[in-house]
Structure 1
């Protein structure tokens, strides 16, 4: 069966829903393909205990669909998922979403100037435009550990939590102390007989100033939308101000390091444990984490922190690098995600049949995190260089969604069949990203982090303010694109 539409969106997470709302409000026909049985993306799959956002809820929500009734400063997984479902209902998106539909390939037809998307169930979707809202936080990265096949216990990744296993009285080992690991540690310690934590590098963990939002304030935000908007703007500007130190003046972060170290000293009594969990790299170089009870949990006598990664797995235990064996009934990986895996699982072929994974052999890259040369009428939401780690991704998602709408309108107004970003424009953009990235706290030399990659840009981040990014995307620069008027005949910077 073949379904024709003007745009196909792959993914019904925060990015896909944001783009779907933008298209719906512009009257553009579209279909959303979602491999899961429900929407939500990251917030549908990550159901581990303690899963929550570390950005304030009023900013981690769409500006066009604000929620006055957030229950706390930082929302948890269930509340965020409920909000996203409400957005989909309010904007009439549910009839346009095909749940349980996994896209396996997308190919550009140069004769028809159309995308043909094939799905695992055999359904074909044909559209002029393809939008990838696949996200980067749902393909688990599992390290290969010798002896893994011999382990008799239960094993899972935080993004695939096994709620059928009762952890009460179990000996649990956690590998990784990134964002998910830090959030889940207190909950594991409460239930397990013992908790062993393998820590490759100590994270900077700042206090999380979470608090319940009183009912009177919720009512005020519902009755007075302007107050809600001002509150959201205040959060946004405060984060942009903090972000300045990360992306432009990293030396300012050094002032905060002694303060954070003193907090660690106050919370960790054992000198050897304190030394183990105190970071040896600049504050901000890796993702800064937030928790109100992480360090306190590490003081428990039944919690043990081990430096490094597991060296070997045995039937009933995990062996560390020093040869010590740790009894383990349940092994939980909090080891992050394969960012390119979200794209690699779909075979995407552009002009001349060139595959996206071939174009990215030298590292993920693109133009403003949105477009890739030789892939006409294809756009990415939160693609490489399309997000900043110091604040909410939502403002960037909304800017990208508006840009995609603008691109569609531009094609219509010029009478062209398609547009594709120019190679030279992409090269200039990546050169700019590399220059900007070099002066940030995340740059190579400070530490190794997942923000760095091997592409010409050197990073997957937008290494500047989101205000700067949003201003960039207000106007589609026609000179950076080529417009297709006939098969294999492109016109530079304009239409017919």
Structure 2
């Protein structure tokens, strides 16, 4: 058995962000990571063209600046290198247990501790449990009839097969989300025929990506405050754009015109233009960025199918109209099961409550970080704790500081545990329900994973990150129960 005060599950961007904050605060902790490297999403997603759609200078920790980003929008390898450097520079590596797959986390009411079991048999015990497992971890792959009979290669974009040579092959790409849009130009250069299955057209804005000049890198290195100002400018610009997402969906029309002009200018065939033109408000689904996507669809060997596969044959994909498309390889860019990361770990709270069962109808939380019935447990980038229009790092850092405040409050109350009151979560969800209806995510005329069956109706935070950070600036003690060991009030706080 290994004991510590705080156990963090996951060494991706959220887990490392929390580790940085705990280390700064002098709190003892360990990070349990099932892989053998840090990085999470940026370690696993190595498909060609993988890059961030948020500016590099903002997609980084506020206290861990990198003055020499090579481009305005960094690629996968550079982001992963940055996270490795941060972990090393901050002295986090000795606190990370690599190759440790967590199978179960169980709250022990008698001792006020979390008992964490692992596949290797080692047990870890901590007062506080922090889930930094992320929502982009469990690939979502369609279960198609005939999959066993397909003779070609099949893989998900997040598990890229680097040994497969697609040169001269017939390739079917399923999905035009963020990964799919980035993959299309790469695949079109190599495949003899590329068939793109598009269930719903995406809004794809041009990407203002340019190399960062050497003089700017030197300026940021010599005068760090200039990079801080640059970061602040980008952050505030994104917050201004965010108004169209969370408050004024009609304002998205301006950006829509940019995409519509791009479609008109870059796609020659009128029928294809109609197929790739979205029929819902921009922002209702994730907004994508690419300078090559629409232009690539013009190529004679690239075909867009308005629909989705329904079956596989030995050498073909069958669409929902019954047409067969001959192919040698199928690549799924079909996204992730956002709750799958939590489902793979048996997380048991008070009286045997299981998180997976509690979130069976829809995941929900208090302030995006706490769940009733699970004392001393916090979720990073959990339900209602994230927005899709800016860098997730902004919310990660706000949540990491909030967790430290909760730990300090528990200590100052001389309590063994704190538990969010169920009525506090209900008030939070009721507030969000009253606000979410005006957001583009619910009022934009589409169906997406942003929507769910929770009381709030959405998995997102329906406001600005400025407001979210302000909300998390302090811990509302009246929304929690602080429980001395063996206190009966603890049982009533379930």
Q: Supply the distance in 2 between the matched residues of 1:267 and 1:218 (Cα, whole angstroms).
A: 34
**1:436 aligned partner:** 435
**1:237 aligned partner:** 236
**1:395 aligned partner:** 394
**2:51 aligned partner:** 52
**1:114 aligned partner:** 113
Q: Supply the distance in 2 between the matched residues of 1:451 and 1:459 (Cα, whole angstroms).
A: 6
Q: Supply the distance in 2 between the matched residues of 1:314 and 1:21 (Cα, whole angstroms).
A: 50
Q: Supply the distance in 1 between the matched residues of 2:8 and 2:291 (Cα, whole angstroms).
A: 38
How far off is 1:325 after superposition?
1.4
Contact map agreement 1:15 1:397 (CA 8 A) in 2: yes
How far off is 1:138 after superposition?
1.2
Q: Supply the distance in 1 between the matched residues of 2:346 and 2:434 (Cα, whole angstroms).
A: 32
How far off is 1:362 after superposition?
2.2
Contact map agreement 1:444 1:452 (CA 8 A) in 2: no
Report the secondary structure of 1:442's partner residue.
Answer: helix
1:344 aligned to 2:343?
Answer: yes
**2:77 aligned partner:** 78
Contact map agreement 2:283 2:444 (CA 8 A) in 1: no
How far off is 1:110 after superposition?
0.4
Report the secondary structure of 2:382's partner residue.
Answer: coil
Q: Supply the distance in 1 between the matched residues of 2:70 and 2:306 (Cα, whole angstroms).
A: 37
Report the secondary structure of 2:441's partner residue.
Answer: coil
Quickly say closer, same or farther: Cα 1:295–1:369, change in 2 above 3 A.
same
Task: List gaps (5 residues or longer) in structure 1.
Answer: none
- After TM superposition, the structure 1 stretch with the greater mean CA deviation from structure 2, 366-375 or 355-364, is 355-364
Q: Supply the distance in 2 between the matched residues of 1:210 and 1:486 (Cα, whole angstroms).
A: 55
Q: Supply the distance in 2 between the matched residues of 1:361 and 1:316 (Cα, whole angstroms).
A: 38
How far off is 1:361 after superposition?
2.0
**1:362 aligned partner:** 361
**2:132 aligned partner:** 133
1:335 aligned to 2:331?
Answer: no
1:464-495: CA deviation from partner (whole Å, max 9, x where unpaired): 00000000000000000011113252379x9x
1:265-301: CA deviation from partner (whole Å, max 9, x where unpaired): 1110011111111111111111110001000100001
How far off is 1:260 after superposition?
2.2
Q: Supply the distance in 2 between the matched residues of 1:169 and 1:454 (Cα, whole angstroms).
A: 45
Report the secondary structure of 1:128's partner residue.
Answer: strand
Give me the TM-score of the superposition, normalised by structure 2. 0.98
Contact map agreement 1:176 1:198 (CA 8 A) in 2: yes
**1:379 aligned partner:** 378
Q: How many positions carry a matched residue from both structures?
A: 493
Report the secondary structure of 1:5's partner residue.
Answer: strand
How far off is 1:395 after superposition?
1.0
How far off is 1:322 after superposition?
2.1
Q: How does 1:210-229 map to 2 (within 5 A)?
A: 210-229=209-228
Q: Supply the distance in 2 between the matched residues of 1:47 and 1:423 (Cα, whole angstroms).
A: 41
**2:179 aligned partner:** 180
1:293-350: CA deviation from partner (whole Å, max 9, x where unpaired): 0001000011000011112210011111222211111100000000111001000000
1:470 aligned to 2:433?
Answer: no
- After TM superposition, the structure 1 stretch with the greater mean CA deviation from structure 2, 234-243 or 309-318, is 309-318
**1:152 aligned partner:** 151
Contact map agreement 1:110 1:488 (CA 8 A) in 2: no
How far off is 1:458 after superposition?
0.9
Report the secondary structure of 1:390's partner residue.
Answer: coil
Give the CA RMSD over aligned residues.
Answer: 1.4
Contact map agreement 2:196 2:305 (CA 8 A) in 1: yes
**1:289 aligned partner:** 288
Q: Supply the distance in 2 between the matched residues of 1:389 and 1:37 (Cα, whole angstroms).
A: 29
1:404-440: CA deviation from partner (whole Å, max 9, x where unpaired): 1111110111101100100000001011111111000
Quickly say closer, same or farther: Cα 1:40–1:384, change in 2 above 3 A.
same
1:95-129: CA deviation from partner (whole Å, max 9, x where unpaired): 11111110000000001000000000000000000
Task: List gaps (5 residues or longer) in structure 2.
Answer: none
Q: Supply the distance in 1 between the matched residues of 2:74 and 2:489 (Cα, whole angstroms).
A: 47
Q: Supply the distance in 2 between the matched residues of 1:341 and 1:475 (Cα, whole angstroms).
A: 31
Q: Supply the distance in 2 between the matched residues of 1:233 and 1:489 (Cα, whole angstroms).
A: 48
**1:487 aligned partner:** 486
Contact map agreement 2:117 2:123 (CA 8 A) in 1: yes
Q: Supply the distance in 1 between the matched residues of 2:177 and 2:434 (Cα, whole angstroms).
A: 27
- After TM superposition, the structure 1 stretch with the greater mean CA deviation from structure 2, 206-215 or 452-461, is 452-461
**2:269 aligned partner:** 270
Contact map agreement 2:280 2:444 (CA 8 A) in 1: no
1:243-263: CA deviation from partner (whole Å, max 9, x where unpaired): 011100111112332332122
Q: How does 1:281-320 map to 2 (within 5 A)?
A: 281-320=280-319
Q: Supply the distance in 2 between the matched residues of 1:444 and 1:490 (Cα, whole angstroms).
A: 42
**2:163 aligned partner:** 164
Contact map agreement 1:244 1:465 (CA 8 A) in 2: yes
